[in-house]
Chain A
C-alpha cells in the first residue's frame, strides 16, 4: 500500500515554494515569485494555504524603506516535505 501524497504539497506551485524554502533559511516573496514565475496574486494565495497548514511562516516588515515579506519553512512543514519526498521515492521504486 502506497503512502498517500500530501494534497497540499502535490501542486506544482506550492511544491516549488516548499522546495525553495527547504533549501534556505528564509526567502523573500520577490525571490519566490522570480524563481517560480508565478503571478503575485497566485503566489499569495498558495502562500496563504501553506501558512494556514502551518507549513511555512510569513513575516511582513521593512528593509530600509522597502516593504519585505519573508517566508520560512516550519519544522512541521519540513517534516511534511520529507514525508512527501519519501512517498514519491516509494512510488518511483515500485514503478521500476
Chain B
C-alpha cells in the first residue's frame, strides 16, 4: 500500500468499506473460538454429570457444575493470549460483557437454589443461556447465533418443563452443541 497513490472517490470508498469489513471479520472470527470453547465444555460437562447421575442415582453430581468456570475461564484466558495484536473493539467488549453477566447470573442463581431458595434451575439457566446467545447474535449481527439462541432458550424452557431429573441435563448438552456449532459457523463464515 502506498501513501501517495492518487485515488478516485470510488476507490477511496471501496478502500474504506473493504478495510472496515476486514476488521469486522477479524473480530467475529476471534469471538467464534470462545463459542466453540464454552460449547465443548458445556457439552462434555453436562454429559459427564448425566452419566454419573444416571448410573449412581445421586443428584449431588450437579455440584460438578461449579467446576465449569474453573475450567472455562483459564482456558479462555489462554485463548485470549493468542489474540494479542488483534484490535480491541466495542463489539468484543459488549459480547464479553453479555457472557460475563450470564456467568454471574448462573453462578448466583445456582448458589441460591442449592443453599437458600429451591428453584427450577434448568429452566432458569437454559432461558438465560439462550438469551445470552441471542443477544450475542444481535450484537454480532449474525442470524445463525440469534436463531440458535432462540431455539435453545424457548425450546429449552418448554423441554425443561416436560422432562424430568437427569434427562434435563441433556438440554445443556444440546445447548453446548448449539454453541459450538454457531462458533464453527461464524469461524468459517468469516474465514
The interface of chain A, by Cβ under 8 A from chain B, is 10-16, 19-20, 22-28, 30-31, 34-38, 42, 45-46, 63, 66, 84-85, 88-89, 91-92, 95
Contact = CB atoms under 8 A, between A and B. Distances in A.
Interface of B: 1-5, 7, 9-10, 12-13, 15-16, 19-20, 22-24, 27, 84-90, 93
A12 B2 contact: yes
Contact of A31 (B12, B85, B90, B93): B85
A23 to B, nearest CB: 4
Contacts, number: 88
Contacts of A85: 13, 16
Contacts of A66: 84
A36 B87 contact: no
A20 B3 CA distance: 15
Contacts of A10: 7, 12
Contact of B88 (A14, A19, A26, A34): A26
Contacts of A34: 85
B27 A24 contact: yes
Nearest to B10: A92
Contacts of B90: 24-25
Nearest to A11: B3
B9 A88 contact: yes
Contacts of B89: 23-25
Given A11-B4, A88-B12, A88-B13, A23 B84 contact: no
Chain B CB within 10 Å, residue with most, of A15, A22, A30, A31: A15
Contacts of B12: 10, 15, 84, 88
A24 B27 CA distance: 9
A30 B1 contact: no
A25 B3 contact: no
A31 B2 contact: no
B88 A20 contact: no
A86 B15 CA distance: 15
Q: Tell which of A14, A19, A20, A92 has the most Cβ of chain B within 10 Å.
A: A19
A85 B87 CA distance: 22
Nearest to B8: A91
A36 B1 contact: yes
A45 B2 CA distance: 12
A95 B9 contact: yes
Nearest to A63: B84
Nearest to B23: A23
A28 B85 CA distance: 5
Contacts of B19: 16, 19-20, 23, 35
Contacts of B22: 20, 35
Of residues A28, A42, A45, A88, which shows the largest number of chain B Cβ atoms within 10 Å of its Cβ? Answer: A88
